[in-house]
Structure 1
Amino acid sequence: MGIIQVNNIKLFANHGCLEEEAKIGSEYRVDVEVKADLKRSSRTDKLADTVDYVHLNHIVKEEMAIRSELLEEVAQRILDRFFREIRMIRRATVSVAKINPPIGGNVAEVAIILTKKR
């Protein structure tokens, strides 16, 4: 078993419960970690034998572009697509963080972290 991480994916999106969030949007950071059997790819040196991190990034970008009120729903959609589209994945963790959330204080970010396994 091995781990592939795609960290600090920076995006702009319009998630949130407030009407202003839908209109003006916010900056987000997404971190992804997937576990899969990487023995074969470590021997063959072939992209077809591993989890393509370009594909992971593509899924994150597409799902983050779909507006949601809650980050939990966004993270779950990302996980569901990972497992639907990439059969090699055995376990995945997704962290979705809203940078400078509008919560009335000096808060750097809020994050939702979800994990799913096959």
Structure 2
Amino acid sequence: MFVQTVALKDVKCYAFHGFYPEEQLTGNHFLTTIEVTFSPSTETEDLQKTVNYEVLNSIILAEMKATQKLLETVVKNMMDKVLNAYPFVLTASVGIRKLHPPMLGEVGHSFVELSYTKP
């Protein structure tokens, strides 16, 4: 069996996610990655039989605009949309890195990821 991967990695957005009110006012830079695997169709030129990474990008952009307190909520919302759009995926992962989160010390990024494996 062949397994195909389609992914968008490190889609950079400026968004206003954060638990603290200040974070929702000042915003921050985020990098989002979505990666899915599936059994490829023999019809390799049919966009309806694959995962369209333009759709993945639109999911990322829409959810990054919808301010949430927790990145856990954002990745879950993205995952739900990916699985709804592409029920044939075998695995999926959605990860968000918050660049230089506002905390003591020099923190490069915080990271939240959600993974799915088809039962």
1:16 corresponds to which residue? 18
Q: Structure 2: how far apart are the matches of 1:96 and 1:40?
A: 33
Q: CA deviation at 1:85?
A: 1.6
Q: CA deviation at 1:63?
A: 0.9
Pairwise mapping of residues 19-34 of structure 1 onto structure 2 (< 5 A)?
Answer: 19-34=21-36
1:13/1:65 contact within 8 Å kept: yes
Q: How many residues align?
A: 116
Q: CA deviation at 1:32?
A: 1.1
SS at 2:42 equivalent:
helix
Pairwise mapping of residues 22-61 of structure 1 onto structure 2 (< 5 A)?
Answer: 22-41=24-43, 44-61=44-61
What are the ranges of 5 or more consecutive residues in structure 2 without an aligned counterpart? none
1:108 corresponds to which residue? 108
1:31/1:96 contact within 8 Å kept: yes
What are the ranges of 5 or more consecutive residues in structure 1 without an aligned counterpart? none
TM-score by length of 2: 0.91
Larger helix percent: 1
1:4 corresponds to which residue? 6
**Taking every aligned residue pair, what percent have the same amino acid on both sides?**
28
- Alpha-carbon RMSD: 1.2
- Structure 1 runs (4+) greater than 6 angstroms displaced: none
Q: Structure 2: how far apart are the matches of 1:55 and 1:66?
A: 17
1:76 corresponds to which residue? 76
TM-score by length of 1: 0.92
Task: Tell me the alpha carbon deviations over residues 71-100 of structure 1, each in whole angstroms, 9 at most, x when there is no partner.
Answer: 111001000010112223221101111001
